[in-house]
Amino acid sequence: MNGSKRVFSRWYRSFFFVAGLLLGVVLLASCVTPLRVPTTPTPENVVPTYTSTPVAENVDAVASPMPTDAPVAEVPDPPLTVGISPLLGERDTSWLMPTLISIAELTTDSGPRPVTLLDRAENAALTVTFVPRPQAADSILLERYFAPVVPFDTVNDETTLAQLAARWRGEEDGGLIAPLESLAELTGIFGVPPADSVNVTSAALIFDALTASPGAIGIVAFDDLHPRFKVLAVDGANVLSNQLDAVSYPLAAALVTQGDGAAALSAQLAGLAPETTNRHADQLTTLIMTGVTAMSRVTALRMEQRGYTYPALVISDTLAAADITHISNEVPFLDDCVVNASENNLVLCSDTTYWAALEAVGTDIVGLSGNHVNDFGRDGARRSITWYRDNNIPIYGGGMNIEEACAPLMWEHNGNTFAFIATLAFEPSFAWATEDQPGACYYYNEKERIFDLIAEVRPQVDIVAVELQYLETYNPYPTPQQVIEFRELREQGVDIVTGVQSHVPQAMEPYAPNADRNASIIVYGLGNLFFDQMWSWQTRTELMARHTIYQGKLLSTEILTAVLEDYAQPRWTTPAERADLLRSIFNAAPAR
């Protein structure tokens, strides 16, 4: 019985195996389309060909064969999500937001893309934000330039971006004062500051904050500068320079679009900002005013020995780079002037060949208020004035008669307009012009005329500059009467008052703008430029005032410092010499 069961079992298993195999063959055959035999006659000796339909993987899903050239459905690009940096203030968002809201789509390289404006910029693929100007290549919407500043009577001249960044982060002593109105731009340059690391205040209050925080550095927008600030160079670059490489200047920010579709959004927003920059190079003017020039005595002897451009060799590049370079020439130019180098000789002239030195420093305008203009008589003065005019050299402060001598010289550069007036407030009387005789415009006889001229030109020009050949002293402290009279000129509406009489450097007095008038400065005395007074350190030291005028406003005055060598040639001061000289004139400033 047991053997029968085993036989049955083997038979049973064999039966079902064969049955399953046959069933599989039947099912497989049902899934294959039979070969189609051509019904047309087959030519003799030609082997017929056959075609078959491939087996579909899912029989139920395939109703009929798909055409091989059917188009593939395109998946649309996702929307461009746009966000604005939350640090941007109303000044920027007031023109950005309405435009962004109105943009439904942008045309990118891949075609039109719908635009979605997000509340949170960090979630957007495309953002509008400030970055450092040197890092911004394309997609720039606007740029803003800043200056590190300290009070005018500060000796230090420069800083670095690294030092400013350390103060921004609270990692360096001294403190940093920043304008509330420009936090977005400065954050774009330095990053988000730690809490309480920066003293943030209104731009209008930064100067007061600086005076209350000795050692602090402020940051001011370029177009908010005024002469009570001293502008520091950053990594050697000075934002006041008319030769600034604006693209690489480190303390500037650019508003840019960043991310997917940046170029398309930038193109849509281009030109919509109310002001694309706060520093237009073509609206800036630098004016350098200089002190006493009298290329006579030993200076003339050195020029004969070493060449006519000898006095200018060291300082010429800097002076010639100014847009307007001023010279106060105290003596007549005569083609028959003979060198007289005797000590204390006071009858002075310059040979016309010596103009080469003034040409080398880029002289544009010449004031003739010096008390030596008639040293060779009225005829010598006429010859000198004629020589200037024959050579198209602009002069003022001296002329063939009193009308010419007192007349202002009108000037224009980069849209900035000027009226230059020069007067002599000193003796001898034979240097004074008369109704029909040449000479300088004598201040005290013509004071009412001068004040009337100032009132007349004040509405016509941006900058009124008056220079006075005043009482000669050898002290950095202006006399009390000098302070009164120089301030009186300023009160008449003069923007730049300059003493061109002093043979030693004297104090300076800058003023910020107020509700009644523009910014201004009084320069009590610049010292010599080209003159042979080597007999004391004070007479050897020299100042040149470099004024920056922007959009008709006096923004800043820089003090250039030099030392006379070899009776004829100024050189720039060493750092130690400059520091001592600056301290001397700052200490000599009169009380406000």
Burial (CB count <10 Å: 0-12, 13-18, 19+), residue 443: buried
Q: Which candidate, 339, 347, 352, places its Cα nearest to that of 301?
A: 339
Q: What element of type H or E holds 201?
A: strand 199-201
User: For residue 210, which amino acid is it?
Assistant: L
Judge contact between 462 and 553, C-beta under 8 A. Answer: yes
Q: How far is CA 19 from CA 11, 22, 30, in A?
A: 12, 5, 17
d(Cα 417, Cα 551) in Å, to the nearest integer? 10
Judge contact between 170 and 197, C-beta under 8 A. Answer: yes
Judge contact between 482 and 568, C-beta under 8 A. Answer: no
pLDDT at 271: 83
Judge contact between 498 and 510, C-beta under 8 A. Answer: no
Average pLDDT, the chain: 88
Burial (CB count <10 Å: 0-12, 13-18, 19+), residue 236: exposed
Q: Is the pTM of this model over 0.75?
A: yes
Q: Apex CA 266: angle with CA 263 and CA 267, to 5°? A: 85
Strands 158-159 and 233-234: parallel
Phi, then psi, of 314 in degrees rounded to 5? -85, -40
Each residue's pLDDT tens digit, 238-261: 999 999 999 999 999 999 998 888
Which residues in the chain come in under a pLDDT of 50?
1-64
Each residue's pLDDT tens digit, 129-139: 999 999 997 77
Terminal-to-terminal C-alpha distance of the chain: 136
Judge contact between 67 and 80, C-beta under 8 A. Answer: no
